A = this chain, B = another copy of it.
Amino acid sequence: MKIKIKQRELSKHINIVQKSISSRTTMQILDGILLEAKKDKLKLTGTDLELSIESFVDCEIIEEGSIVVNSRIFGDIIKKLENDLVTITVDKTNINIKCENSEFNISGNSGEDYPDLPLVVERDSFNIPMDIFKTVIKKTVFATTADETRPTLTGVLVEIENRFISFIALDGYRLAFKRLPINTDANTKMIIPGRSLNEINKILEEKEEDLNISVSPSHIIVNLGSTTIYSRLLEGPFFNYKDIIRKEHKTIVKVKKQELQNSLERASLLAKEEKANLVKLSLIDNTLNIKSNTEVGNVFESIDAQADGEDVNIAFNSRYIIEGIKAIDDEEIKLNFMGSLNPCIINGLEDEDYTYLVLPVRLAQDDF
């Protein structure tokens, strides 16, 4: 194999493909990027067997061929070369890299040893604007669990039904739900691993351009033109989330989002990081009081609220309530309560299509 390729272009695509390479792999070949030179293109492939990325870069091909090269070393070298044409020559397993007055020789592995990517049979396909997909990932993926004993909850459930697409993540303590209209007749559901979504998010740019997504029974395929991302889907039943998003509320409280967020962040300051950081909310008329008592000291905050319904005393793990409020972009938010034992449902006043639900921590009423 022998090619000439632009340094900056190659470096950019190595960077993309590296997102699929795990530093914790036990198969040495998966530390590598598969390079395949064919028909005026260099194809780069990376995979951790769950997430796979293929990317194509224009180049001048002098001799077709393939090689597997260590991802970190190859990436470091190409990034540090001058911004000029790079000549890559492969002889058996030796890789020679030349650019201006620099010359590297490193060894690779035969391209034949690289695992085949799964054959994917497309079932459904839809488009979604790139920037909206990024926003949806940001608003849901943080609510997945890291607990591998509940594998389906490490992913985000995506449901397409009646020209709406919904994204749902939950971890047993809170739930994030986002719904969007979508221009497709497909009706399907799938669970996308949280890690895949996080890596996809890093590759997507903040553009309004449409992204094409295809779905097979086992995979999702995100098509970005010169780059294609394949993620395995998670199998198994998802939690029946619909039952817990109630529509009736005993108390509805409207507050300024930033005021509540700042108060909760201050109230959580004194808790040690390793402990469940309890914040107590008490609604009295049109004031929302927030309290926290820890070994280090105590905090008392109060903010103006516009309340409708009965007063309420309720406690939360501050991390779970703060993360949800941060995910809302509206200036004003609505907290919907059904007593102190049922989940609190939080919406932005404008964006009714994003719902965050957080479970309270049970406390005796005397503890407020």
Contacts and interface: CB of A to CB of B under 8 A. Distances in A.
B300 A103 contact: yes
Contact of A301 (B73, B103, B105, B300): B103
A298 B103 CA distance: 8
A351 interface: no
Given A73-B269, A73-B270, A101-B302, A297 B106 contact: yes
Nearest to A267: B102
B77 A266 contact: yes
A269 to B, nearest CB: 5
Interface in A85-136: 101-107
Given A270-B73, A302-B101, A265 B80 contact: yes
Q: How many copies does the complex hold?
A: 2
A244 interface: no
Contact of A80 (B82, B266, B296): B266
Interface residue tally of chain A, by bracket?
20 to 34
A104 B297 contact: yes
A303 interface: yes
Interface string A43-86: 00000000000000000000000000010010011001110000
Contact of A297 (B81, B107, B296, B299): B107
Contact of A76 (B102, B269, B302, B303): B269
A350 to B, nearest CB: 25
A80 B262 contact: yes
A263 interface: yes
A366 to B, nearest CB: 21
Q: Which of A266, A269, A296, A300 has the most CB of B within 10 A?
A: A266
Contact of A73 (B73, B262, B296): B296
Interface of A: 70, 73, 76-77, 80-82, 101-107, 262-263, 265-266, 269-270, 296-303
Given A70-B296, A101-B263, 4 more contacts: A80-B262, A101-B303, A102-B263, A104-B298
